[in-house]
Amino acid sequence: MTFEGRLVAATLMVAGIALLGVVTASIASWFLTNIRTTAAEAARRTEDELEDATVRLDEVLVELRAVNARLASLERDRQSPPPA
């Protein structure tokens, strides 16, 4: 074993470790990007569903107010004396 051989071996080991680090970092970055994209899509879908639910709730409230008004009208008609 010569000094030059050891130097080449050490250089190859460092280069291999660096390459392994780069590959690992690339895979981790891909996973994180994928997770962030999935989370963003889920948040967007949730916001859309919440907006739809709010619109439906507003429609139900309008119908409930109409039913309450109709009920109040019927109660007034029932309580008023019949015409003579």
* Paired tokens of 8: 């080449």
Banded pLDDT at 77 (limits 50, 70, 90): confident
Tens-place pLDDT, residues 20-63: 999 999 999 999 999 999 999 999 999 999 999 999 999 999 99
* Paired tokens of 67: 């039913």
pLDDT at residue 80 in the model: 76
Residue indicated by tokens 């107010």: 65
d(CA 55, CA 61) in angstroms, rounded, equals 10
The reported pTM is: 0.54
d(CA 44, CA 50) in angstroms, rounded, equals 10
* Paired tokens of 60: 């139900």
* Paired tokens of 57: 């709730």
